Structure 1
Amino acid sequence: MNKIVIVGAVGGGATAAGQLRFYDPDVQIIVFDRDSTMSYAACGTPYVIGGVIEDEESIIMTDPKRFKKKRDIDVHMRHEVIAIDRAAKKVLVHNLETGEQFEESYDALILAPGGSAIVPKIEGLDTSKVFTLRNFEDMQKIDQFIKTAQPKNCVVSGGGFIGLEMAENLKNIGLDVSLVHRSPTIMSILDTDISLMIEKELALQDVKLITGTEIKKTEGKTIHLSNGIDIQADFIIMSVGLRPNTRLAMKAGLTIGETDGIQTNEFMQTNDPSIYAIGDASENFDMVTGDPKRVPLASPAHRQAFIAASHLTGNKVAKKGLLGTSVLKIFSLTAAMTGLNEKAIQDKNLAFATVTHTGNSNAGYYPDHSEITLKVHYDPQTRKILGAQCIGGKGVDKRIDVIVTAIYGGLTIDDLQALELCYAPPYSSPKDPINMVGYKALSK
């Protein structure tokens, strides 16, 4: 392999480039990205806006000049790849600064184009101040607006990860926040009972939550909702979803899967074996069911980058599927999940049972402890773990991480009671909540 072109210079693309150089000191690597900032921690952007991260530059991992000097990789920002000639193995590149177009050949091509924020067609939306948060420039625009216009209130549309993180951070800097969500409950990847615990926390923190509705029309600072309620807001954060950037792949005749992502195999190859797809726009498969799955999160993108780079340099490490493991901080609560939730299990008509344990994160007599609820779904016949969720104060993430490891290693729900986990009063109990879930499942 002599020359590899990568489309996208953020999480997946930049990681793939770095991995390729690590495994092959001689291969030529060229990266193109239409934005102006490479390799930044997108997950940190809400916390820059909220003032938790004081230096916005700290979330930028590197820049083209440093990347070239350290890794001998050419990165061209503000360059958009607009076409792929698969037969000739060339891409057509548009320099967004100069307007120039040119061709670049490749032996292998990695697509890491990410996704774009969905902005619904809403009457009057152009009369209101509306922001999305998908890249570094979006973050800067929101931050600058808040600092110069000094708004007092806002509407966040969409109760997923970005919406909830923005609601928390905007509230923390003193804004009056209303969160509007179309579905009956927020965070659709969670079971309803877990979502309702988050809704209770939002109420305690004085975030006005309006579910079962959406923005129907706007007139400047007046936001008309579909349920007849009007809200006054100085600006809107639109976080209703992510659309995978697959236009380039579609034009090139690459297969788009059921989840609207670019379909890939276990090595992240598309239907053209010389073209790989990773990150938010790629579709792989579910580790539990084998069904098509797309997970637009950082950890899967980094793993996929490693798999593609390994395969290209002669080391065939297969992807074992996606679980969609994720964690969310919302004020004093942490919520985390992995695998299938109750709705997904029911939609797939799978037999399942559920065990739930509510207890302390660590010894109740120790001053620093909190209540956590751990909920695990499993197959009652095979005892295979199908998915899990946890919510509470401290220690939520480590419980889900143990469940992830158990699923990956093929452990059953019954095996959880036998795990010899860390114990000292500041950290757990002699019988950890993980063990308790296993004991409760055994009793069933």
Structure 2
Amino acid sequence: MKIRIIGSVAAGTSVAAKARRNNEEADIRIYDRDYDISYSVCGIPYFIGEEVEDLETLNPRDAAFFKKRYNVSIQTRHEVVSINHASKTLTIKNLITGETMTDTYDVLVFATGATPLTPVMEGTELEHVFHVRTIQHAGAIDTFIESRKPKTATIIGAGYIGLEMAEQLTQLGVEVNLIQRSNQVMKHLDKDIADQIADTLQAHGVKLLLEQEAVRITKSEVVTSKGESIASDIVFLAVGVKPNTALAESIGVKIGETGAIAVNEKMQTNLPDVYAVGDVAESFSVLTGKPIYRPLGSTANKMGRIAGDVITGGTSAHRGILGTGIVRVFELAIGQTGMNEREALSYGYDIETLHNIKPARAPYLGGKELTIKAIADRATGRLLGVQAIGEEGVDKRIDVFVTAMTFGAKAEDLFHLDLAYAPPFSTTKDPVMYTGMALDNAIKKQNKLLTPKQLQERLEKGEQFQIIDTRAKTQYDTSHVSSAVNIPLAELREKAKELDPTKPTLCYCNSGVTGNAAQNVLRNMGFEDVYNLSGGNKNYQKYRK
């Protein structure tokens, strides 16, 4: 069997490695127009910021390694320029010599990846303007920084790469400007979480320019859509990527609704004996079953392994993804999985939203707070999405949520997880467990929640609330929700007699626990419509900032 793979980064090499493990006789060959194979795109910012000392660390394998270990031929700087699927023939151009050659295949795999988008504007071709996508890009950026010693940088785009580059350049002592055309960083997060990232960026000296676009780059400046001129010795384009589908389209491969190649769970396209994997291909959502596009190395490796197994007679199948991601921004870790609020509402879910602010481990051992925002479907109790942000414990909690959601967990299931506990690692009631308990209570209408956003929207519509701050007076005096009255929990049973039990009532504390206790007191006293403020005053003040 002749297996021909176009593309040799994460997905393409995974296809080849798995196919070889299954079949020693297959003739496996990979063509790639680039210089390097099987490298870590995600590690490039950390090389630029000198956390990774040697660029070769990100590119540990070469063609000779694959030939020796897997008996797989990889020909770099060889571009497949045309395909005749009827005769199963490839035309390949040697980009070094200019010569062309032909090859034939029994099975063809597109692992052509994605190309970084270049905004349409003057100046993107200038020598100080860079993408952050390949080993060649990394080397060129490193050489430029070493030789020119830039003092100012502008990053266009505030997604994963943009934020990582902002962190790394700042740590190099470069003054960083970050331009984002929407009103928040990391558009796949909800704004209340994204705003905490923005605060951290600005606290570290990053100048954040939201709701602006770069319209022109000169040798020394970037000009924005609001007419601002930003001094820039070096510029990075980080506005996203586009799947490299042109070659596949030329032979009739179907493109899905996301703009990437449509594949089934076996990574097969609409054409017989043609597969697609990695950043050029769609995945699908574990939650909805609908196509989604998430170009990540972890997903690419998984897709490649599945294709390699299927091609050689295996029974593997893709089970979908949740779109999980995590990023470090200075002292913060930010993780997310599944849907955000906007997405859940757009799919028609009636959602319950909880902000859970808890220490990641025992406070008496220095445990620091993290915020978990969790979204569940009221109709079924199923967990739909989680966002978490904090200085520690985020990765652990996100991975627990991912595992639970992958297997269809409901909010109530989280409370019953037997999670590892010891004071250096967690609290007795782990934030994951508490999230499940509080969400379940809210879904079952025992302990209704209002987010700061929902409260503000209802107040703006003219609804009247009795708002009770259950904290100590000193805390109330420092900051509180507008129009709230201060009734500490210990005084609530007596002073509740002065309140109207028929009027909508909102209780809150610092982060939610005492507010929940007050909510229970009032419910048990016959109050008809009582809410707890999700995330308490801490969350409200962050929202109102």
What range is the shorter-chain TM-score in? Answer: over 0.9
Tell me which residue corresponds to 1:162: 161
Tell me which residue corresponds to 1:150: 149
Cα distance in 2 between the residues matched to 1:347 and 1:84? 40
1:257, CA displacement in angstroms? 0.8
1:347, CA displacement in angstroms? 2.4
Tell me which residue corresponds to 2:371: 373
After the TM superposition, which residues 17-416 of structure 1 pair with which residues of structure 2 at under 5 Å, given as runs?
A: 17-127=16-126, 129-367=128-366, 369-416=367-414
Contact 1:41 1:61 in 2 (8 A): no
Please, which runs of 5 or more residues in structure 2 have no aligned partner? Answer: 443-545
Cα distance in 1 between the residues matched to 2:87 and 2:278? 25
SS at match of 2:363: coil
Deviates more, 1:312-321 or 1:136-145: 312-321
Contact 2:376 2:439 in 1 (8 A): no
- 1:9 aligned partner, one-letter code: S
Cα distance in 1 between the residues matched to 2:302 and 2:72? 20
Contact 1:128 1:219 in 2 (8 A): no
Query: Deviation string for 1:214-240 (max 9, x for gaps)?
Result: 111223212111012111111110001
Cα distance in 1 between the residues matched to 2:195 and 2:18? 41
Instruction: Label 1:46 to 1:296 Cα distance change in 2 as closer, same or farther (>3 A).
Output: same
- 2:140 aligned partner, one-letter code: K
- 2:196 aligned partner, one-letter code: M
1:423, CA displacement in angstroms? 0.6
Cα distance in 2 between the residues matched to 1:118 and 1:98? 29
Instruction: Label 1:125 to 1:9 Cα distance change in 2 as closer, same or farther (>3 A).
Output: closer
Cα distance in 1 between the residues matched to 2:6 and 2:28? 11
Cα distance in 2 between the residues matched to 1:23 and 1:60? 25
1:61, CA displacement in angstroms? 2.7
SS at match of 2:365: coil
Cα distance in 2 between the residues matched to 1:55 and 1:129? 22
SS at match of 2:90: strand
Query: Deviation string for 1:2-32 (max 9, x for gaps)?
Result: 1101111111111111111112122111001
Deviates more, 1:177-186 or 1:344-353: 344-353
- 1:401 aligned partner, one-letter code: D
Query: Deviation string for 1:324-371 (max 9, x for gaps)?
Result: 11100110000011111112122222222112211101011113x221
Cα distance in 1 between the residues matched to 2:314 and 2:31? 25
Tell me which residue corresponds to 2:516: none
Cα distance in 2 between the residues matched to 1:279 and 1:110? 10
Larger Rg: 2
Cα distance in 2 between the residues matched to 1:256 and 1:320? 20
Cα distance in 1 between the residues matched to 2:273 and 2:125? 43
Cα distance in 1 between the residues matched to 2:11 and 2:327? 21
1:409, CA displacement in angstroms? 1.4
Contact 1:216 1:226 in 2 (8 A): yes
- 1:141 aligned partner, one-letter code: A
SS at match of 1:428: coil
1:310, CA displacement in angstroms? 1.4
Cα distance in 2 between the residues matched to 1:124 and 1:394? 41
Contact 1:154 1:234 in 2 (8 A): yes
1:127, CA displacement in angstroms? 5.0
SS at match of 2:282: strand
Tell me which residue corresponds to 2:415: 417
Question: TM-score normalized by structure 2?
Answer: 0.80
Contact 2:381 2:440 in 1 (8 A): no
Pairing 1:438–2:436 present? yes
Contact 1:263 1:283 in 2 (8 A): yes
Instruction: Label 1:185 to 1:321 Cα distance change in 2 as closer, same or farther (>3 A).
Output: same
Higher RCO, 1 vs 2 (CA within 8 Å, ≥6 residues apart) = 1
Contact 1:12 1:279 in 2 (8 A): yes
Contact 2:370 2:389 in 1 (8 A): yes
1:380, CA displacement in angstroms? 0.5
SS at match of 2:67: helix
Give the number of equivalent residue pairs: 442
Cα distance in 1 between the residues matched to 2:293 and 2:354? 27
Cα distance in 2 between the residues matched to 1:310 and 1:387? 31
Cα distance in 2 between the residues matched to 1:32 and 1:297? 21
- 2:35 aligned partner, one-letter code: S
Cα distance in 1 between the residues matched to 2:126 and 2:301? 39
Cα distance in 2 between the residues matched to 1:64 and 1:127? 32
1:128, CA displacement in angstroms? 6.4
SS at match of 2:227: coil
Cα distance in 2 between the residues matched to 1:233 and 1:420? 52
Cα distance in 1 between the residues matched to 2:310 and 2:126? 50
SS at match of 1:37: coil
Query: Deviation string for 1:157-202 (max 9, x for gaps)?
Result: 0000111111111111110100011110010111111101100110
Flag as ranges the 4+ runs of structure 1 deviating above 4 A: none
Please, which runs of 5 or more residues in structure 1 have no aligned partner? Answer: none
**RMSD across aligned positions (CA):** 1.1
Contact 2:360 2:425 in 1 (8 A): yes
Cα distance in 2 between the residues matched to 1:420 and 1:125? 53
SS at match of 1:253: coil
